[in-house]
A = this chain, B = another copy of it.
Amino acid sequence: MLITARAEYACLAMLELAARHNDPRPIRLTEVTDKHAIPQRFLVQILLQMKAAGLVSTSRGASGGYRLARAPETITLADILGVLDRMEKPEDRNLAPSTMARGLQSVWKQLGETRMHFLQKIRLTDLVPSSNSGDYVI
By a beta-carbon cutoff of 8 Å, the part of chain A in contact with chain B is: 1-3, 5, 8, 11-12, 15-16, 19, 35-38, 77, 88-89, 91, 93-96, 98-101, 103-104, 106-108, 110-112, 114-115, 118-119, 122, 127-129, 138
Contacts and interface: CB of A to CB of B under 8 A. Distances in A.
Contacts of A91: 1
A98 to B, nearest CB: 7
A68 to B, nearest CB: 14
A100 B138 contact: no
B37 A103 contact: no
Contacts of A100: 12, 15-16, 19, 36, 127-129
A1 B36 CA distance: 28
Given A12-B95, A100-B127, A3 B36 contact: no
Given A100-B16, A118-B111, A127-B104, A95 B37 contact: yes
A79 to B, nearest CB: 14
